Chains A and B, each alone.
Chain A
């Protein structure tokens, strides 16, 4: 049955239809939560909270986006609420350590001698990436996970996080610079042909 029909039936009180919607989307949402919080126990609890909220707020679902996109939004909010509770000072953090243009210029830049699609098949490299993503402050992490891992658009990410599209773009850029910096020591070209920026 198509999604819109399932949503309609779930709204009318058909719990079986809601369960079908959950079954269709739970892997995506679990993956998202796992990447946001980094541990399976929290992801499991947040998954339950997320779908309970979705059920209770079904009448607010406009139907102009996919059901999974709407649930992404709820899941991300629940994950951020949990971060706020645990570490209130880190959630709104606006600054992350990324190198300035001057620092990059002084150090020089060299390309990475790797094919990323092949490299990511290595368990060690996936571990390195996941650790670097978890080192990002929560809001930056949420932006990079929604945009670059889950493939949401800038507008959908802005909607999910209730921030402006400009803020999504700024945070995404800084998060990518942070991740590039974390990965550089492992991937920089062994020939060390660094070139200085102007």
Chain B
């Protein structure tokens, strides 16, 4: 006999649910709860939308040309005579 989850317990587990990191039995309990709880469904939807927004907020950042040039010049100056694997 499984105990019914409260909204608070659902809330605590929602990220792990979104990431599919929960035991299948707990997922089933969450889904059963969602059948009869519109606020938890709305909360889940908005949390999922938050994750998608964050995921796509990171436009691929192309390194600006001057940053690329500076970086390679810096590394040539600092590394070339050292050889790899030498902490200084």
Query: Chain B interface (Cβ within 8 Å of chain A)?
Result: 6-8, 11-12, 14-16, 19, 21, 37-40, 42-43, 45-47, 49-64, 67-68, 70-72, 74-76, 78-80, 82-88
Contact = CB atoms under 8 A, between A and B. Distances in A.
Contact of A59 (B11, B39, B84): B84
Given A34-B61, A35-B58, A149-B58, A47 B84 contact: no
Nearest to B64: A40
Interface string A164-178: 000001001100110
A133 interface: yes
A179 B80 contact: no
Interface of A: 10-11, 13, 15, 18-19, 22-23, 26-27, 30-31, 34-35, 40, 44, 47-48, 51-52, 55-60, 101, 104-105, 108-112, 114, 116-117, 119-120, 125-126, 129-130, 133, 144-145, 148-151, 154, 169, 172-173, 176-177, 179-180, 183-184, 187, 195-198
A110 B42 contact: yes
Contacts of A30: 61, 63, 67
A112 B75 contact: no
Given A19-B75, A31-B61, A58-B85, A176 B46 contact: no
- What 5 pairs across the A-B complex have the smallest Cβ distances? A31-B61, A59-B85, A173-B15, A116-B52, A149-B58
A22 to B, nearest CB: 7
A56 B12 CA distance: 42
Interface of A is mostly: helix
Contacts of B21: 154, 169
B39 A26 contact: no
Contacts of A22: 71-72, 75
Given A56-B87, A58-B84, A176 B53 contact: no
Contacts of A110: 42
Given A47-B67, A169-B15, 14 more contacts: A23-B68, A34-B61, A44-B67, A47-B63, A57-B87, A109-B39, A111-B45, A120-B56, A120-B57, A144-B54, A148-B54, A169-B16, A195-B39, A198-B39
B56 A112 contact: no
